Structure 1
Amino acid sequence: MKEKPLFFAFLFFTLILFIASLSVGKVSISFNEIYHVFFGTSDEMINNLVLNFRLPKSITALLVGISLPISGFLMQELFKNPLADPSVLGITSMASLGVGVVIFLFSIIGLDQYLNNPWITIIASFLGAITALLIVIVFSFRVKSAASLVILGFMISGLSGALIGMMQYFAPSDKIKAFLIWGFGSLSGLSWQQISIFALFVLSGIIVSLFSLRGITALLLGERYAQSLGINIKKLRFIILIATALLTASATAFAGPIGFIGLAIPHICRTLLKTGDMRVLYRWIFVSGIFFMLLFSILTEIFPFGTLPINIITALFGAPIVISILLNNKNEVR
């Protein structure tokens, strides 16, 4: 079967899954009732449930499903390593540090009342992520090797983890629990205003990432070959860093540090497609990320003993993928 018809068939099933995500929950809603929510008159309770709870959650899953897999794809292509993911530059760790500073230090200095405002943790997370980006960008102009950026990312992650650990050591138990709950990730609870801003950042990151595809294709044959085609390696690296930061920072800020999805989806698409055409690979990763995040969102709802955190589902899915990478790509993972 040709690639394009297969892609459009998969896109159709993704749309069906999006509609199904509005139907599944503790209260089941039929497709007919969902139709009446958007194109007719429906019960006020169903209307409120779909428009104010399930639709925002499904759109959040869609945005996360776009941002993290595309970030993972960009990181894996930049560093030529299938184990690279959106957290490799320390952006996720610094976002967590930003939230940790707010949750732990606000309680120490008596500003607990501000923690009830969801914008506080979103802004703190985003500022932490942007701080990591600025550090990496400044460093990227001083080094020639992309591997040096990986080392820098590990150092940023290590420092962030140490500072978070120190704050946790002195923090009251209820604040530690609040931070752990944030770390599980969540697709629920965003207002339409927050979703609009999230979507704006994701759209910006996607637009920036599209400018990197030609350079990434040229890099498949090495940096010297890419330079012979007129590709500015430092500029390409800068574009990838900006796109990755916008996508990762926004996903972490609005949904928490969701793991594995950014690593696993690009690897699955690359393994199944076996193509060197980055545009083809890009669009499959784009739609596959949406498909799987919607699927995971549904799985969190049908768990019989309550709603599971999204990070548990993605870890159960992603861990076997990481193991398969290590077993099947021994020569690639360095």
Structure 2
Amino acid sequence: MKPAFSVIFLTTLLGAGQGLFLALFTHQSYALFGLLPMQSDAFYGYGSTLALLFLACGLIASFFHLGRPERAWRSATQWRTSWLSREVIVLPVFMGVVFLFGLSHLAGYRPEIVTLPSGLLIDLSIVIGTIGTLLAFLLFICTGMIYACLRFLREWNSPLTVINYILLGGSSGFILASFYAASAAPSQTHFFVGWAIIITLLAFVGRTASLVRNARLKPKSTMQTAIGVKHPHIVQRSMGAMGGSFNTREFFHGKSPAFLRTIKPVFLLLAFAAPLALLALGMSTPSLLGFAFVLQYIGLLAERWFFFAQANHPQNLYYQCV
């Protein structure tokens, strides 16, 4: 498939925003049970603002993928059958919840909602954060299922697609949270770095598993089935047209096999190996954490490009000679 850079930025920016929010609420949940010291309202409030900024940038990027942006609202009308429509609905709802979570902290408005039998006090921010966590995972699922539900694109049609969207977004968000904590709450940096290393390792395992799986796929379609002719010896000489067409532009990335072989180790290095090394060093040198996030984000852009490019549409069997 031909990667659309608007969708590449959409998915990577949303993933970072979702991951950052999950990191912040994970810390607050630990603190709620006394496992970590509770941080100031400003820490959670401004962190939520940063997460909301990434989500907003991702939303803006999505509009560049629309032929008629003024009709964007129509994309939500098919929510019964379309994962894209469900994503369009869940995203603004999630952004609203992140906004309320940050506002409850920045305004200092966290009234007690209920006291559990154990004596644990549940305030408004905990309730909002729990709802936001559920919506964050639901948004990951909706985004991943847009591609995983397409049976004819076998490289995407796997549970690993959804799992990797969750893990890659979580990795990006926790690395960003590590950098944020290094300046806003230095004593908590180790907590975020530790989780960032764990999730990044899991993301590496998940992405490697999908690469191994896709490398073993054998096409179900052949030249014979593509054109409906059963003759055993068919050789294609041209694509059947003098110039390009929608089919040759939108369903093929146009890069050589050598380019695909090159970009794979590049994104594995930038998205996983380098950030893991920088996270380990960042324990003692916090400034490296920001570099780790930037480096990984570049790697995720390459990874997402490869994700789209690797999907081989069956129609390319017919239009393969250009």
Q: Structures share a fold, TM > 0.5?
A: no
Q: Which has the higher helix share?
A: 1
Max radius of gyration: which structure?
2
Give TM-score, length-normalised by structure 2: 0.32
